[in-house]
Amino acid sequence: MFNAQSPQFYQIRLAGHLDRSWFSRFDNMVITYREPDGGETELSGFVADQSALHGLLIKIRDLNLTLIAVQHISEAVLDAWLAQQDAAKATLILQLCSRKKSP
């Protein structure tokens, strides 16, 4: 069951290819490029709760970035979703997951 008050995994797609200088604005998110020609940037990672998700979306708006999609990846399908990802990206996400779950 979805719990809005516990960390949830999200994939957020943005238009364009964000330069590495933007990365510090999205700490705790894995940032990858969906299309090598600069078509889309993808942010993936755990978001603490609904308030943090809204804060992240406000930050995207305030930075005048074009939001393409926000997808919640449930814990039940996270392993299958990770298996479909690039190995380096999956490793980064798994490291992020272990940090979020440790006390």
Q: What is the pLDDT of residues 57-70, one digit of tens each?
A: 999 999 999 999 99
- Angle (CA) 31-32-33 rounded to 5° is 140
Q: What is the pTM of this model?
A: 0.76
Residues of the chain with pLDDT under 50: 1, 101-103
For 86, list phi and psi in degrees, rounded to 5. -55, 145
For 14, list phi and psi in degrees, rounded to 5. -120, 150
Q: What gap in Å lies between CA 20 and CA 67, rounded to an integer?
A: 18
Q: Report the topology of domain 8-101.
A: Alpha-Beta Plaits (3.30.70)
Q: Which of 6, 12, 32, 1 is closest to 101 using CA atoms? A: 6
pLDDT per position as a tens digit, 47-56? 999 999 999 9
